[in-house]
Amino acid sequence: MIDLLGYPFMQRALIAAFVTGLAAPVIGTYLVQRRLALLGDGLGHVAVTGVALGLLTGFAPTWTAVVVAVLGAIAIEVIRERGSTSGDLALALLFYGGLAGGVMITGLAGQSAAKLQQYLFGSITAISVTDVWFTIGLAALILLLGVGLLPQLFTVAQDQDFAKVAGLDVRAYNLLVAVLAAVTVTIAMRTVGLLLVSALMIVPVAASQQLARSFRATLGGAVVVGAGAGVGGLLLAGWISVRHDASVAPGPTIVLLALACFVATWPVGAWLRHRDRLRQPFPAGAVAPLEATDHDDHDHGPACGHLAVPHDDHVDYVHDGHRHARHGEHYDEH
């Protein structure tokens, strides 16, 4: 295990997995907030075409993937804004167009399927020093914008009409999120592969929002889960590969580890939500009070036989399916 860490390729891979795990969930949080969890997937498929164009033209596939994914992101945002096609239909069009285009162009380029496979499922252990710097640079950009503009991006995703009246340029912020998602896709492409890109953006958010009550906590938790799964998954894959002399790909291991975090937090989250609902069983404040006409026979008290429920500074009595609280000459409904 320690030997494994001594290899330069492993060190590079660890750095790449860590910064990707940090950056991807930041944008993922905004996508989940806008209920666009699958946008990353759509952009991943579009990036396949970008990679294939790189293979065809001889440019670095990473750069052509960035360009094509950004163009795809802008296209989907424009389609959504015009409202001529619904968001999920536009996504579906991207999905299929991107994947089919990528496979076809790779064939035209005469490249073997194995070359494309590197990008589809990740090749983090083959990452070069230049690629590591490229990943760090883009991840820093995503973190800077995603965290620095948090109040604005949060408001726009939460309520577009309100954001517009507040004077925010809603279209610019929407485009920014889409473009950053495209950039995230291309940096995560080396780590987990284009087909699993979205998982690194979305699954950590799904795990952390089980326990979080606030947006900032969700985002922070997702970053921790993302970075932890990135590093942990890579080490786990390395350890299994060495131990059992198998070749376990790091990408799927990272995604499965993130999913395991979700599976672990979900029951806790379900219990927490259940407890929160129990905390306030009745709305605060009195509902229309009833005259105490049907209480001539007795006053509510410890011995009257009606169930006593402590409520703030007084005691309510359950009476015919209502909760009665004495208020002067009558009982209020609580």
214: contact with other proteins by CB under 8 A? yes
311: contact with other proteins by CB under 8 A? no
Nearest alpha-carbon partner for 78 in 173, 186, 171: 171
209: contact with other proteins by CB under 8 A? yes
x/- track of binding to other proteins for residues 223-262 (CB under 8 A) = ----------------------------------------
Q: Which is nearer to other proteins, 109 or 290 (CB)?
A: 290
CA distance 110 to 93: 26
158: contact with other proteins by CB under 8 A? yes
Q: Which is nearer to other proteins, 140 or 217 (CB)?
A: 217
Q: In the complex, what is the shortest distance from the CB of residue 30 to other proteins, in angstroms, rounded to a whole number?
A: 8
CA distance 115 to 16: 20
Q: Which is nearer to other proteins, 35 or 298 (CB)?
A: 35
Range in contact with other proteins (rule: CB under 8 A) among 92-100, 126-134, 204-212, 249-257 = 204-212
The identity of residue 312, as a single letter, is D
x/- track of binding to other proteins for residues 257-296 (CB under 8 A) = ----------------x--xx-----xxxxxxxxx-----
212: contact with other proteins by CB under 8 A? yes
By CB under 8 A, what part of segment 72-101 binds other proteins?
none
Range in contact with other proteins (rule: CB under 8 A) among 28-36, 52-60, 85-93, 246-254 = 28-36
Q: Which is nearer to other proteins, 200 or 235 (CB)?
A: 200
Q: Which residues bind other proteins (CB under 8 A)?
A: 29, 32-35, 37, 148-149, 151-152, 154-155, 157-159, 161-168, 205, 209, 212-218, 273, 276-277, 283-291
